[in-house]
Every structure is written in structure tokens, then in C-alpha cells.
Amino acid sequence: MADRYLSFTGTAPGRFLTRRLGLPQPARLQRWTPERPALDGGLLRLTAGTSGLDLAPVLDRAGLGAASARPAAVVLDATGVCDTGTLAEVHAALHPVVRSVADSGRVVVLGAPVDAGDHHRAAAQQALEGFVRSLGKEIGRGRTVNLVRLTDAAAAESTLRFLLSPRSAYVSGQVIHLGAGEVTAPDDWDRPLAGRTALVTGAARGIGEAVAETLARDGARVVVLDVPAAEADARAVAERLGGTHLALDITAADAGERIAAALPDGLDVLVHNAGITRDRRLVNMPAEHWSSVLDVNLGSVLRTTDALLERGTLRTGGRIVATASIAGLAGNAGQTNYAASKAGVVGLVRALAPRALAEHGITVNAVAPGFIETRMTAAIPLLIREAGRRMNSLAQGGLPVDVAETHAWLAHPASGAVNGQVVRVCGQSLLGA
């Protein structure tokens, strides 16, 4: 359903009225298109403290030119911030330039891992999180602010390319930790998944369909999985993307075996997207509503992941990306079952990620969407829908492609340093913020 308020605020009378009444003034976001694959403008590079990182080669390849009077993006290297004195350099660096960042621009702060052995440095580095999240809430005009913690500039290339591009339009206020992992630069950064196979569950429509489309755009051979009742839609999506479809109930006890049998040559990317809702307050929730949601959203993810890892279907260098939800992080009235299932996905990711990387060379991450414009949210009563759209720093709902772009970044062969992360795609929602 079209966001009429967003359209209205883009007009001169809308801007005047909303400004006078103190209402949200969302800016139309710049998203990736083949015609506009990069942000409009240059990149401004700043430093706070003394950094040992050589970011120049990575940033030179990010697709942005030299900074102009209104840079499209600002990268502040704050890895050398180690005390309150060098924290002052963060203010000194960004204070003069924040207002000049272009609409739909990006601010990316680079930090170091928080070192518990040095409490002064740990305090200063932790302070960057509060700074980034607060700046994201006040910067406005469709601009986003994120923090990346890293020790190796080369390992950050896929992450910086994502955050400094239109692909990350609805990702703000996030803290991303980069660790150890095999980073494989693709032959073609425009088609990084060429030669790779990706399976997306619940891909016949909605967010799953958008994920399948985006992975196919990036070169993957996509397997579209959905329930038998949606087979016609799944087949149509697969044919349009040049992939194949697989009709099965993901909760079936033998689902993992059937997926493995359908993929004798192996799998590179596994996207757990299938999910259902059965919303009611706990006092009114029948047991079958609880168990069905937990089985689809969490039980099937656990069983199929275990089965595919045990059978070696997921190849070394593979990626597992699960769809969580901000409801699982912040809770939501009427969704105790759904929130429990999505919080369980987060627990799975955090526990499995180090072991899967060590034993199989596979990363495990999750994407947690906020209010995304789908047929499901279009059915929400008007006032609740409007509240969901406005209760974030970008003052609007996201699109399925925003979630899909984040999946594609996590599935990237050069994203091996991104592991065990739960990335919110919510426009920096006020829920749980």
C-alpha cells in the first residue's frame, strides 16, 4: 500500500504544514537501481585519534569520488580513540560537516573491538555506540549512521561497499563487528554470487521473493522453496529468475533430507526466510497457535540447518542467513509466540556461528526486519500502520528489497569476516533501540 503521508510531505504544502505542526518529515530514500548504483556525490575521509589502518585501497574502490561541498558519505576512522581526550576528536571531526552531508547520505564510524584489558580504551570505544545511535536519530533527511568495529581494513570491503551504497538505505544505528573469516574477493563485484547456488525458503512471495530476486541479480542460481500450496507462485518466481523451485513443507521431519537430495552438487547460500504469524495475547492464545509458529519459524530452521551441515550439503565458504525480527529483540504485544521464535533464531545464530566457521568454514548471521511494507502490513489497521511507519529515525516503512539487500551483503563471498551478527533493517526503529 502506498505511503500517502510520505508523498504528501514531499510537496511544498506538505513540507510547510508538517514543519509548522512538528510532524515527522520523512525523506524519500535513494535505493539501488541499475541506473543509479551509487550514491550521488563524493566521500569525505576523517580520522579521530591515531589509526593504524590503511583504508585508502578499500575506500578508493567503494565507488565514490572525492568529497565535494555536500559529500554523499563520510567515513570517520575512530579505531584510535582510546580515552576521553581522543573522543573529543570525534566531535571535532564531525561537528563541522554533519549538516553538509547530502540527503540520503551515509556516515560510517569505524571503531576497534572493545578491549576489556584496558578500561579507558574500552570506555572510549563503547562511547562510540551511544554516539552513533544518537546521531542516527537526529541527522534526518534520509541519512544513516552506522558503526563498524574492525581490525583489518581488507576484511571490511564488502561491508563498507554495502554501507556506503544505496543498498543500505534502511539500515541505520547498527553496530557491526568484523572478526576472523575467509574473505574471498569476487571476480566481478557486480555479480559476486556467480557460480554459486542459493536456497531461499518462503520465497514464493513477499520478502522471500525479494531475497531470491536480489541473489539472482548478484549471479546466484536460486532455488525457490515454499509450501506445496504455493507451488504455482514458487514455480513462476523460479522461472522468472532462471532458477528452480522446490515444493515442500519445511516443518516436515525429512525436509533436510529432501533438500539435500534436490541439491546433489551442494549449496553455497542458505536463507531461512519461511515464517508465519498467529497473533493473539497469551491469555487468548490456543496451544496450536503457539506450537505452529514455533515449529515453522524456529524448529524448522534448527532441523534443516543441522541436517544440511551433517550431510555436507553446505559447501566450505558457505553462508547461512536467517530472518529474525525486531519483535524478537524488543518484544511485541500479541506476539509472544512470534517474538519467542525470532529470539530463538538470534540465539541459534550467536551459538552456531563460531562453531560453523571453525568446523565448516561457514558464516551464520541474521537479518531482523522492522516495519516492512508488505501485504501483511497493508492489512494492519490504519492508525497502527501509521505508527509503525513513523516510529523510526527515517520516519517511514522499509521495503522488501531493503531486507533482501542486507541478505545479499551477508551472502557475499567477501563477507567472511561478518559472523554471528544480527543486523536490524528497521530504519533505526524506536522499539528496543
Span 420-432, pLDDT tens digits: 999 999 999 987 6
Let me know: does 402 contact 370? Beta carbons within 8 Å.
Answer: no
Using one digit for the tens of pLDDT, what is the confidence trace for 66-105?
777 899 999 999 999 999 999 999 999 999 999 999 999 9
d(CA 70, CA 52): 28
pLDDT for 388:
86
Domains 31-177 and 197-425 share a fold: yes
Q: How confident is the model at residue 385 (pLDDT cuts 50, 70, 90)?
A: confident
Rounded Cα gap, residues 362 and 300, in angstroms: 19
Whole-number Cα distances in Å, 208 to 201, 280, 362:
7, 24, 21
> What is the rounded average pLDDT of the residues 348-360?
96
pLDDT at 433 over 70: no
Distance separating alpha carbons of residues 268 and 197, to the nearest angstrom: 5
pLDDT at 319: 98
CATH 3.20.20.70 fits 31-177, yes or no: no
Mark residue 141 as left, alpha or beta (left: phi above 0; alpha: psi -120 to 50; beta: remaining). left
Q: Please tell me which residue in 338, 352, 356, 403 is annotated as part of the active site.
A: 338
Q: What is the pLDDT of residues 158-169, one digit of tens each?
A: 999 999 999 999
The ranges assigned to domains in the chain are 31-177, 197-425
CATH T-level assignment (fold) for domain 197-425: Rossmann fold (3.40.50)
Q: What is the pLDDT of residue 380?
A: 72
Q: In what order do the strands lie in the sheet with 267-272?
A: 244-247, 221-226, 197-201, 267-272, 314-323, 363-369, 422-425
From 297, 251, 248, 292, select the one nearest 272 (Cα to Cα): 297
Active-site annotation holds for 5:
no
Is the predicted pLDDT of residue 274 greater than 60, yes or no? yes
* 282 or 383, greater pLDDT: 282
